[in-house]
Amino acid sequence: MAVRIRLTRVGATKQPTYRVVVADGRSARDGRSIETLGHYNPRTDPIEFQVDADKAKAWLAKGAQPSDTVLRLFRQAGIVPAAK
């Protein structure tokens, strides 16, 4: 099973907010997830991003692959070291 850390969309029409979840890579975007790590709201100023860093690091250590957007957010939050 390929485990991914990715965003799942929640919120009303044209008002997206997202949850940061751990899910099987084959499941649908808004399908079943294994665990919820936090949330992300790009509509606020400044952007709101809250995540449980300990859980995120534990999943990364187990081999979970973050999506491109989640990887960018993790780098900004200091959970993953910046690219060289």
pLDDT at 30: 82
What are the CA-CA distances from residue 61 to residues 3, 16, 24, 57, 58 (Å)?
12, 30, 16, 6, 5
> Which pLDDT value is given to residue 44?
92
Q: Does domain 3-77 have CATH number 3.40.50.620?
A: no
User: What length is written for the chain?
Assistant: 84
In the structure encoding, which two tokens stand for residue 84, read together? 């060289």
Residues of the chain below pLDDT 50: none
Is 83 within 8 Å of 22 (Cβ atoms)?
A: no
Domain spans of the chain?
3-77
